[in-house]
Structure 1
Amino acid sequence: MSVDEAWFEKQLIKATVIMNRSSVRKDNKGLKNADMFYCSPNFLSLTMAGRTNYLFFNVFGLKECRKIQSDVIEAATIRNTDIYLSFSSDMDKSLCYKLPALLWKGITVVFSPSMKWIDGQVESLRRIGVSCYVWTPELTIRDVERMIKDMSTMDPNYRIIYWMAKVSERNFFFERMLQDLSERDLLNYFVVEEAYRITEWGHNFEAKYLSLSRFREICPNVPWIVLNGPANPIAEEDILKQLEFGGDRPYEIFKTSCSRFNLFYSVVSVEYLIEMEKDRIKKLLQRHHSKHALPPGTGDINPDIYSVIKMNSLMYIKKLYQAFNGCSGIVYCNSGRDCEDMSKYLQENGIPSLHYHSSLYDDYKKMVKQRWIRNDINVICVPVGYDIGVKKNDVRFVIHMSCPNDLTTYYEETGNAGRDGDKSFCRLYKSESLMRRLKIFSSMKKSSCKDISSCEESKRNPEYLVEAVKWMLQYCEGQRCRHVIFRDYFGEDSFDSCESNCDFCIQRNQFSRVTQLSSNESTQDTLEESNSNRKRPATESINMSEDDSPKKPRND
Structure 2
Amino acid sequence: MAKIRDLSAQTSFLFTGDDFSVEQDDSVQSGYKGTPEQILKSVFGYDSFRPLQRTVIQNVLDGRDTLAVMPTGGGKSLCYQIPALLSEGLTVVISPLIALMQDQVTQLESFGIAAAFINSSLEWNEYTAVCDRIRRGQIKLLYVSPEGLATERIRDLLHSRNVKLSCITIDEAHCISEWGHDFRPDYMEIASVREEFKGATCLALTATATKQVQNDIVRNLRMENPAVLVTSFNRPNIFLDVRRKNNPPLQVIDFIRSHKGQTGIVYCFSRRQVDELHAVLCESGIKALKYHAGLSDEERSRNQAAFISDRADVIVATVAFGMGINKPDVRYVIHYDMPKSVEQYYQEIGRAGRDGSPAEALLLYSPADIRKIRWFFSENADGTKSEKLLQGMIKYAESHTCRRRQLLSYFGEFNTEATTDQCCDICSSGGGEEKDMTVCAQKFLSCVLRTGERFGTHYVIDVLMGSKASRIVENGHNEISTWGIGRTLDRQKWLELCDCLIEYGLLAKTEEHSVLYVTDAGKQALRSRTEIRLPVSFDENSPKKSTAVLRKAPKQIPDDDKEGKRIEAELRRWRRMAADELNVPPYVIFGDKTLLDIATKKPKSQQELKECYGIGDSKAEKFGYFIIRITKN
* Contact 1:481 1:505 (8 Å CA) reproduced: yes
Alignment of 1:141-180 (within 5 A): 145-153=128-136, 156-166=137-147, 171-180=151-160
**How far did 1:391 drift?**
2.4
Q: Which residue of 2 aligns with 1:528?
A: none
DSSP 3-state at the match of 1:72: helix
Q: Which residue of 1 aligns with 2:78?
A: 95
Q: Which residue of 2 aligns with 1:208?
A: 186
| Letter in structure 1 aligned against 2:425 | D
Instruction: String of CA shifts for 1:409-460, please: whole Å, max 9, x gaps.
Output: 101111122223333221111122222455788xxxxxxx6xx32xxx55xx
Q: Which residue of 1 aligns with 2:227?
A: 252
Residue 77 (str. 1) matches residue 66 (str. 2): no
Residue of structure 2 aligned with 1:311, choices 250, 260, 267: 250
Query: Aligned equivalents of 2:545 and 2:324: distance in 1?
Result: 30
How many residue pairs get aligned? The number is: 448
Q: Which residue of 2 aligns with 1:277?
A: none
Q: Which residue of 1 aligns with 2:205?
A: 227
Unaligned runs of 5+ in 1: 1-18, 274-307, 442-448, 516-534
* Contact 1:503 1:544 (8 Å CA) reproduced: no
TM, length-normalised to structure 1: 0.70
Q: 1:407 to 1:511 in 2, by over 3 A?
A: closer
* Contact 2:44 2:111 (8 Å CA) reproduced: yes
Alignment of 1:355-374 (within 5 A): 355-374=290-309
* Contact 1:200 1:465 (8 Å CA) reproduced: no
* Contact 2:405 2:414 (8 Å CA) reproduced: no
* Contact 1:112 1:193 (8 Å CA) reproduced: yes
Residue 394 (str. 1) matches residue 329 (str. 2): yes
Q: Structure 1 residues 122-131 or 474-483, which shifts more?
A: 122-131
Query: Aligned equivalents of 1:543 and 1:238: distance in 2?
Result: 50
Instruction: String of CA shifts for 1:501-548, please: whole Å, max 9, x gaps.
Output: 222334554866999xxxxxxxxxxxxxxxxxxx9x972499999736
| Letter in structure 2 aligned against 1:476 | A
* Contact 2:244 2:364 (8 Å CA) reproduced: yes
Instruction: String of CA shifts for 1:349-404, please: whole Å, max 9, x gaps.
Output: 23222222334445544443444344332212121353252223332221111011
Residue of structure 2 aligned with 1:61, choices 45, 48, 51: 45
Q: 1:539 to 1:113 in 2, by over 3 A?
A: same
Residue of structure 2 aligned with 1:505, choices 394, 412, 427: 427
Instruction: String of CA shifts for 1:81-139, please: whole Å, max 9, x gaps.
Output: 11111111231211111122122342111112222322221222232333433334676
Query: Aligned equivalents of 1:499 and 1:541: distance in 2?
Result: 27
Alignment of 1:476-555 (within 5 A): 476-495=397-416, 498-500=419-421, 501-509=423-431, 539-540=539-540, 547=547, 553=553
Alignment of 1:400-419 (within 5 A): 400-419=335-354
Alignment of 1:6-155 (within 5 A): 24-25=16-17, 31=21, 34-36=23-25, 39=28, 44=32, 46=33, 48-49=34-35, 52-78=36-62, 80-136=63-119, 145-153=128-136
Q: 1:132 to 1:23 in 2, by over 3 A?
A: farther
**How far did 1:220 drift?**
0.9
Query: Aligned equivalents of 1:82 and 1:214: distance in 2?
Result: 16
* Contact 2:269 2:337 (8 Å CA) reproduced: yes
Instruction: String of CA shifts for 1:189-236, please: whole Å, max 9, x gaps.
Output: 001010111225779965432121112321111101111113111111
Query: Aligned equivalents of 1:554 and 1:120: distance in 2?
Result: 24
Query: Aligned equivalents of 1:141 and 1:198: distance in 2?
Result: 30
Alignment of 1:277-426 (within 5 A): 308-321=247-260, 326-387=261-322, 389-426=324-361
* Contact 1:330 1:381 (8 Å CA) reproduced: yes
Query: Aligned equivalents of 2:370 and 2:263: distance in 1?
Result: 30
Query: Aligned equivalents of 1:400 and 1:545: distance in 2?
Result: 25
Query: Aligned equivalents of 1:244 and 1:180: distance in 2?
Result: 24
DSSP 3-state at the match of 2:334: strand
Q: Structure 1 residues 120-129 or 201-210, which shifts more?
A: 201-210
* Contact 1:511 1:539 (8 Å CA) reproduced: no
Identity of matched residues, %: 25
**How far did 1:152 drift?**
3.9
How big is the alpha-carbon RMSD for the aligned residues of Structure 1 and Structure 2?
3.9
Unaligned runs of 5+ in 2: 1-10, 438-487, 489-536, 559-633
Query: Aligned equivalents of 1:541 and 1:179: distance in 2?
Result: 75
Query: Aligned equivalents of 1:552 and 1:190: distance in 2?
Result: 40
